[in-house]
Amino acid sequence: MLTRRPFLHGYAVVALFSLFAGEALRNTLSWYGFAVWDAAVLLVSIAVFVGLLRERASQGGVSRRPLRGLVKPRAGAVAPALALGLFVVWCALSLGWTHYLPATLLAVFAVVTTMFAGLTILLALGWEGFVRALSIALVAILAMSLLFELFVSLIVRHPVLPVFPINVVPGEKVPDAFYWSRALLFEGGRIQGILGNANLLGFVALLALIVVGCQIASRTVTRRYGYGALALAALIYSLSQSSTVTVATAVTVVVLVLMLLAHQRRRPALIGVGTLLVLGVIGAVAAYPFLLTLLGKSEDLTGRLDIWSIVAGLFVQHPVLGWGWTSYWQPWVEPFSHLATRNGVVYLQAHNAYLDVAFQLGIIGLAIFVAFLASTGVAVGRRGVISPTWFRDVAGSSTTRVGGAGSSIAEGSAVAGSAAASWVLGKVLPGLLLAALLTQALAESRLLVEGNWALLVVIALSASGAGKLTGR
């Protein structure tokens, strides 16, 4: 049962929903309930992984090396997997010099198990199956968010706190950031959805727009689902009013244009767009105050400049090795309990993934992390992702080379008959997702945790050759 496709697909949807809707689960179940939920998902992931290995052994013969072949590297594309492994190892090595050993142990466990969940889904369903599950999980979050905001605005009619609120003192004013929903759906304000955060909700909407848009372009979803999901994502995107997501969207659109021009081999147009992009960046720097006003941001980027200054001060104290890996800051650990406080709210991230990595893992860790991201971007840009099937290994079936520059999609795939569809799913989609993730990382540290980290890992491993192990 664990390796049957309906179960694997359902497991993938639940796991991805859990990764991208962690805030909703914590707001509903408390941190303790969330820990139990995550433990259950992890146990199922382990069971699925073991089941896949057993099926692999039964169809391919008993092997003394059951883990061999999980990643089938392509020439020049193994770098993302190697860099990912090196980064995780460096996180673990920071246990040797960390200033908060229990927190680092927990953070290393979290980064490894999240990576393991993403890998298990990829091995179970392949890239195309992962995309289908991701699409459903993201759309489910958006649909539940809209229903939640409708319920709060029409029935409750006042702001609501999480079921298990944290740091709320009776009789004292509650900061706006503490509310799960502020009942602003019909008042023109920013909605927060089940995630309780407009920026996170807006980014999920952006990811949904990218994924569903590529599914429609590749004709791998029905029109009813595709256009319905696209409309829902566009509605939530507009209602979240997130300036950071707006910037990520702009970068993603530029990347899309560049990929289209490169695919059509229009070098003069590509050079022209690249030139305009450079001039645009220079203009954005020159018009910095005006852009802040346009995006509704204060001159300190809603307190981010102060947080960056504080974190940079900590970085220079231990610039080589850092303070030790902690991923998102843990509020019960010093110095994070009151490190970044604004308007009564303690912020638990540097609001910049790259700065967070430098602060926690030093220059060495940052160099490894940047190498991981760069190698992943190069691999996706040159070859896209690979989606091998179990049938190819067992039955020796051939693969069709599509999408240009070595991108390969198995003949048994639902999109193997269309080179254009394979290019969209195998190259454009991971490229746009990567652009959105890396841009958001300039203003948020979500790249290092939960859904964003799992998605980054899956893109990197897919680009390196990891894929489906079962033909079910």
What CA–CA distance (Å, rounded) separates 236 from 205?
6
Q: Given a cut of 60, is residue 377 above it in pLDDT? A: yes
261: Cβ contacts below 8 Å, ≥ 6 apart: 269, 270, 273
Q: What is the pLDDT of residue 361?
A: 95
**H-run or E-run covering 400:** strand 399-401
Q: Is the pLDDT of residue 410 over 80?
A: no
Q: What is the pLDDT of residue 164?
A: 78
Which amino acid is it at 218?
S
pLDDT, average across residues 375-385: 86
- At residue 413, the pLDDT reads 44
**From the CB of residue 256, how many other CB atoms can be counted at a distance below 10 Å?**
16
**DSSP labels, 160-188:** B--SS-SSPPTTSPPPGGG-SB-S-TTTT
Quote the mean pLDDT of the chain: 81
pLDDT in tens, 146-163: 999 999 999 998 899 888
Sequence-ordered list of residues with C-beta below 8 angstroms from that of 81, at least 6 positions apart, any chain: 71, 73, 460, 461, 464, 465, 466
Give 283-335 as a DSSP string: HHHHTHHHHHHHHT--TTTTTHHHHHHHHHHHHTTSTTT-S---SSPPTTSTT
Tokens of 97: 């010099």
pLDDT band at 416 (very low <50, low <70, confident <90, very high): very low
How far apart are alpha carbons 472 and 465 in whole angstroms?
19
- How much is the pLDDT for 269? 57
Q: Mean pLDDT: which of 7-11, 338-342, 464-468 is highest?
A: 7-11
Interval 354-367: pLDDT, tens: 999 999 999 999 99
DSSP 8-state symbol, 75: T
pLDDT, tens only, 93-111: 999 999 999 999 999 999 9
pLDDT of 184-235, one tens digit each? 888 888 899 999 999 999 999 999 999 999 999 888 889 999 999 999 999 9
Amino acid code (one letter) for 248: A
Cα of 85 vs its chain's centroid, Å: 18
Q: Which residue has the higher pLDDT, 436 or 55?
A: 436
Q: How many CB atoms are closer than 10 A to CB 20?
A: 26
- The pLDDT, as a whole number, for residue 316 is 93
Span 74-78, mean pLDDT? Answer: 60
**In the structure, what pLDDT confidence band is assigned to residue 388 with cuts at 50, 70 and 90?**
very low
> Is 391 a residue whose pLDDT tops 70?
no
The contacts of residue 397 (CB under 8 Å, 6+ apart) are 389, 391, 410, 411, 412
Among the listed ranges 116-120, 203-207, 253-257, which one has the minimum average pLDDT value? Answer: 253-257
Number of C-beta neighbours around residue 1 at 10 A: 8
Mean pLDDT of 362-388: 86
Work out the pLDDT band at 169, boundaries 50, 70, 90: low
Residues 88 and 12 sit within 8 Å (Cβ to Cβ) = no
pLDDT digits over 341-353, tens only? Answer: 777 777 888 889 9
Residue 442 has pLDDT above 80, yes or no: yes
* pLDDT for position 441: 92
Torsion 331-333-335-337 (CA) sign: positive
Query: How far apart are alpha carbons 262 and 458 in whole angstroms?
Result: 24
Q: Is 191 left (phi over 0), alpha (psi -120 to 50) or beta?
A: beta
Please tell me the predicted confidence (pLDDT) of residue 152.
94
Please write the tens of the pLDDT for every residue from 32-50. Answer: 999 999 999 999 999 999 9
Residue 422: predicted pLDDT: 82
Query: pTM to 2 decimals?
Result: 0.86
Dihedral sign of CA atoms 61, 66, 70, 71 in order: negative
